[in-house]
């Protein structure tokens, strides 16, 4: 067992850390206050190669492994959750799905420009009436010659007004007895006639990011844009979540680290009862718990990343990582505010933003309740993964750099 990071991994970490410190820290508070995604974010993530970090060079990516993606997410979210959300949807829920399920034509048309950062991608599963209960969605796609006619509404979609295409899941085969076999996945360009979209304002967190809605009204989508076979939409969506949850979990570890570092700084400088508050044992207890959760979360995402590199199924491990790290990041941010006292309650310090940002991750990409059902299901023998062809292709440096 080798827990050490390679020189390349450390280089990737440092590159993202430098970018965040120099370019994002100065603008993030204002972006959060004004609830706008700063126009530099997506182009800079693209220019730095971050949007294609773990994709093969022949598709415009950087050729790094899947562990690098986790490291990037940790660094991005240590700065602001809205940055990591970009990686969750553009890479975790979309690009990796095209790598896994797309044919060569789709990889050329969609994956390559988004790996280069020329185009941005999003993921549309949630609808106004359906979130966790995916198979009950209302969106439909009806075959019409060489096209499909897509109708439906997607809600709570990250990058809704920024992305150039959406991985859209809709019902194509209502006649099939198992609802899980009735769905299909499509890559829909947002400039297609009939696509409308807008932003959602007034969110609790991720205010420096973009969240919105996307609707399709009789949108004509070429059959060549269907990802996988008809009826594979549910399976594809679940495989997307395996990757998205990995980015959310590793990102949440970054948020724990940010809460820990802010708390240590403050506890070493603020005095109460004649000494630094860090000298008081109840403050130490909070810090100790953050250390524990940071290390635990990190081990969980390193294991998930390792499994991905091996091309092994990791649904269970990724779910555990996501559930643990997101719950823990909320707890860490909450305790960081406590350590900061009243100052933590204002946006003069970052910790109140950390708390607001941490809350959403307990809801998206599987609520904590859904992850508990999954973990209990595995333990009780009610759930097993079987052979669903849901794994990413194993990382092979010669192929990724070839």
Ligand X SMILES: Cc1cc2nc3c(=O)[nH]c(=O)nc-3n(C[C@H](O)[C@H](O)[C@H](O)COP(=O)(O)OP(=O)(O)OC[C@H]3O[C@@H](n4cnc5c(N)ncnc54)[C@H](O)[C@@H]3O)c2cc1C
Which whole-number Å values give the CA distances from 227 to 184, 201, 220, 290, in the listed order?
Answer: 8, 31, 15, 41
* Closest C-alpha to 294, from 265, 325, 264: 325
Q: How many residues bind ligand X (CB under 6 A)?
A: 22
The closest residue (CB) to ligand X is 131
Question: Whole-angstrom Cα distance, residue 255 to residue 355?
Answer: 9
Residue 117 as a binder of ligand X (CB under 6 A): the answer is no
Rank residues 238 and 291 by Cβ distance to ligand X and give the closer one.
Answer: 238
Binding segment for ligand X (CB under 6 A), chosen from 16-24, 27-35, 333-341, 357-365, is 357-365
Question: Whole-angstrom Cα distance, residue 355 to residue 320?
Answer: 21
Question: Whole-angstrom Cα distance, residue 216 to residue 287?
Answer: 48
Least Å from the CB of residue 361 to ligand X: 8
Rank residues 141 and 267 by Cβ distance to ligand X and give the closer one.
Answer: 141
Binding segment for ligand X (CB under 6 A), chosen from 151-159, 177-185, 212-220, 380-388, is 151-159
Least Å from the CB of residue 362 to ligand X: 9
For every residue of 232-293, DSSP letters joined together read -HHHHHHHHHHHHHHHHHHHHHHHHHHHHHHHHHHHHH-EETTEEGGGSHHHHHHHHHHHHH
Burial code of 260-280, b = ≥16 C-beta within 10 A, e = fewer?
bebbbebbeeeeeeeeebbee
Residue 125 as a binder of ligand X (CB under 6 A): the answer is yes
Task: Please give the residues from 369 up to 388 whose contact with ligand X meets the rule CB under 6 A.
Answer: 369-370, 373
Q: Are 78 and 69 in contact (CB under 8 A)?
A: no
Residue 156 as a binder of ligand X (CB under 6 A): the answer is yes
The pair of structure tokens assigned to 399 is: 């192929």
Least Å from the CB of residue 317 to ligand X: 20
Binding segment for ligand X (CB under 6 A), chosen from 44-52, 155-163, 338-346, 350-358, is 155-163
Residue 124 as a binder of ligand X (CB under 6 A): the answer is yes
Binding residue for ligand X (CB under 6 A) from 19, 323, 364, 395? 364
Residue 123 as a binder of ligand X (CB under 6 A): the answer is yes
CA atoms within 13 A on the CB side of 141: 28
Q: Are 140 and 150 in contact (CB under 8 A)?
A: yes
* Closest C-alpha to 137, from 150, 158, 152, 115: 152
Least Å from the CB of residue 310 to ligand X: 28
Binding residue for ligand X (CB under 6 A) from 48, 71, 73, 206? 206
Least Å from the CB of residue 365 to ligand X: 6
Which residues are CB-neighbours of 145 under 8 A, at least 6 positions away? none
Residue 126 as a binder of ligand X (CB under 6 A): the answer is yes
Least Å from the CB of residue 235 to ligand X: 16
Question: Whole-angstrom Cα distance, residue 170 to residue 185?
Answer: 7
**Catalytic residue (choose from 127, 335, 365, 391):** 365
Binding segment for ligand X (CB under 6 A), chosen from 54-62, 131-139, 177-185, 335-343, is 131-139
Catalytic residue flag (residue 365): yes
Least Å from the CB of residue 237 to ligand X: 9
Residue 132 as a binder of ligand X (CB under 6 A): the answer is yes
For CA atoms 123, 124, 130, 135, the dihedral sign is: negative
CA 298 to chain centre: 16
Task: Please give the residues from 65 up to 94 whose contact with ligand X meets the rule CB under 6 A.
Answer: 89
Rank residues 298 and 371 by Cβ distance to ligand X and give the closer one.
Answer: 371
The footprint of ligand X (CB under 6 A) covers: 89, 122-126, 131-133, 156-158, 206, 211, 360, 363-365, 367, 369-370, 373
Catalytic center residues: 365
């Amino acid at each position: 067992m080798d827990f050490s990071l390679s020189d390349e991994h450390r280089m990737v970490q440092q590159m993202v850390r430098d970018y965040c410190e120099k370019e994002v820290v100065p603008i993030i508070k204002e972006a959060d206050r004004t609830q706008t995604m700063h126009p530099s974010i997506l182009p800079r993530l693209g220019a730095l190669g971050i949007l294609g970090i773990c994709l093969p060079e022949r598709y415009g990516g950087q050729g790094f492994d899947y562990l690098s993606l986790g490291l990037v997410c940790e660094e991005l979210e240590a700065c602001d959750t809205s940055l990591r959300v970009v990686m969750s949807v553009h890479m975790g829920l979309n690009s990796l799905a095209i790598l896994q399920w797309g044919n060569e034509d789709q990889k050329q048309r969609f994956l390559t420009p988004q790996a280069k950062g020329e185009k941005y991608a999003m993921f549309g599963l949630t609808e106004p009436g359906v979130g966790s209960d995916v198979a009950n969605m209302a969106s439909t796609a009806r075959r019409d010659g060489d096209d499909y006619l897509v109708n439906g509404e997607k809600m709570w979609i990250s990058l809704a007004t920024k992305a150039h295409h959406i991985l859209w899941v809709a019902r194509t085969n209502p006649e099939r007895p198992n609802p899980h076999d009735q769905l299909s996945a499509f890559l829909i360009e947002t400039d297609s006639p009939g696509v409308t979209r807008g932003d959602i304002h007034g969110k609790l967190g991720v205010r420096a990011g973009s969240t919105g809605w996307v609707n399709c009204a009789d949108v004509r989508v070429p059959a060549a844009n269907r990802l996988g076979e008809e009826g594979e939409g549910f399976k594809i969506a679940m495989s997307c979540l395996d990757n998205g949850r990995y980015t959310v979990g590793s990102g949440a570890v970054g948020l724990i680290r940010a809460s820990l570092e802010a708390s240590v700084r403050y506890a070493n400088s603020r005095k109460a009862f004649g000494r630094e508050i860090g000298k008081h044992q109840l403050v130490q207890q909070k810090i100790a718990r953050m250390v524990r959760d940071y290390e635990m979360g990190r081990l969980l995402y390193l294991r998930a990343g390792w499994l991905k590199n091996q091309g092994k199924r990791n649904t269970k491990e990724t779910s555990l990582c996501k559930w643990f790290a997101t719950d823990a990041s909320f707890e860490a941010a909450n305790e960081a505010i406590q350590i900061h006292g009243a100052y933590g309650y204002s946006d003069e310090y970052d910790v109140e933003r950390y708390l607001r940002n941490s809350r959403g991750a307990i809801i998206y990409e599987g609520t904590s309740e859904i992850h508990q059902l999954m973990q209990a299901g595995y333990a009780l023998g009610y759930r097993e993964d079987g052979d669903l062809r849901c794994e990413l292709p194993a990382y092979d440096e010669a192929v990724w750099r070839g």
